[in-house]
Chain A
């Protein structure tokens, strides 16, 4: 419901569309169809236009995501420091595979560079960032998420 409250803080001009979508993402985990319809009215756009925007960006989600998302950076700097071994360790520990949705609780993805290349390999679990991760750290990092 909170979307009305967000709209109060933003004028209905085009430059505010992306910030509003990001705000919605902050309070809800994903952007619902009803939200898009309401936004379309507010910004005087078609729902299609808004959906094409919301589905374009990495940070925005248009579907519910009940899983814990683990991201391992696949940039060259992180790869050089052994990101592939870290990824392999995560795959072994959780019995999942990158890009495969089958696991009910976890999802392993790659991510775009965070600009932390001097502290690699970088692993992100939901919104939390871990730096200089070794394969031996994987157990510790994930233990709080495995119940």
Chain B
């Protein structure tokens, strides 16, 4: 079942006509001609669409909260600051069908009554930012964005904003801070951005993949979308499968698909490369949990506390891998990307990284293994934002699974 990747490779991503020929911008037309903003929110609510960025909370909640605000100036932001290691699904959407994001975004803005839209794109995605600017120009020419869209009373302008290379800016309040010209540090919630976001105005921030689902829901109806995937979390998900698999890349699969299927089915990952044996998989990028063979048939859905789906990245490691190298990779990543706002995360990730280096160089100090426990405990319980907690996740699982190998 393909919703987002349907026309990939068949249409020219930079040609708005090609997109229109595949019923592009018909959903927007339908929304503007036949539906009130409340209808749109109701439709999305019925569809059960959940945020694709990681947390997986129902999309309509943010929308309703923003609609309830009386302030006129509202912002609609699409989060394309994808920097979770192992994740490149949003980049793939821009590369293959960028108009999908523009259309979905405009519908979302209509629903909440926003006049200004921003696409916040990862600073490394230089080419993709150019693509987006180009397709926005095309859309403006055809009056799909801009003043009085398609003859209606709805105005919506979109600008592209490039980040400057900080992982933490994917967190929505940190993203808002960096747009306001402040350090990209997360804010305390509440107030939630839907109430008080960019420049104190009600702001809705949705992931690019979330937005790309909207045209399908409007065109085919909430019920059709709701029937896809699992009952708890409907729809499809873009999975980025990397590591020792035969076909690494972006694969779209219904939610509720198991890692077993995603890694070994020839439609998706295609199994491990020759001469390699499965050791573990990490679900959801560097901040995700590790699973071994016994958990491979666990369905991946949003809202599952045991095995969060995260960004949908699946990293597959084989039996030849050096687990210490991966421990260093995780610790190094979170050490570098910790924003420094709170002490537990800033110091915890730093010390974890130091221990990881000593592990790698085989000069572990006597107290280190005890200290690891303490550091993980603090990271899990006392950091300001989830980044600190994420830093401990993979380490915790790796220690449980490969203790002998690590301290050998």
Contacts and interface: CB of A to CB of B under 8 A. Distances in A.
Partners in one complex: yes
Interface of A: 14-19, 21-22, 43, 45, 49, 52-53, 56-60, 74-77, 79-80, 84, 110, 112-118, 120
Given A79-B326, A80-B321, A114-B124, A57 B337 contact: no
Contact of B248 (A74, A113, A117): A117
Contacts of A57: 123, 163-166, 184
25 contacts: A14-B199, A15-B181, A17-B181, A22-B162, A22-B164, A53-B183, A57-B163, A57-B184, A58-B166, A59-B164, A59-B165, A76-B317, A80-B243, A80-B315, A112-B83, A112-B124, A112-B166, A112-B167, A113-B87, A114-B124, A115-B83, A117-B86, A117-B240, A117-B242, A118-B88
Contacts of A49: 182
Contact of A74 (B179, B184, B322, B332): B332
B384 interface: no
Contacts of A59: 123, 164-165
Contacts of B179: 15, 18
A52 B243 CA distance: 37
Nearest to B313: A117
B338 to A, nearest CB: 12
B333 to A, nearest CB: 7
Contacts of B178: 18
List the 9 shortest-distance A-B pairs measured between CB atoms, nearest first. A17-B181, A58-B165, A57-B164, A75-B85, A115-B88, A77-B242, A113-B85, A59-B164, A14-B181
A118 B249 contact: yes
Given A15-B181, A53-B182, A75 B123 contact: no
Main secondary structure of the interface of A (DSSP, over half): helix
Contacts of A45: 181
Contact of A75 (B86, B125, B321): B86
Contacts of B318: 80
A113 B166 contact: no
A117 B88 contact: yes
B84 interface: yes
A16 B322 CA distance: 45
Interface in B307-334: 313, 315, 317-318, 321-322, 325-326, 328-330, 332-333
Given A18-B164, A57-B164, A59-B164, A76 B330 contact: yes
Contacts of B124: 112, 114-115
Contacts of B286: 75-76
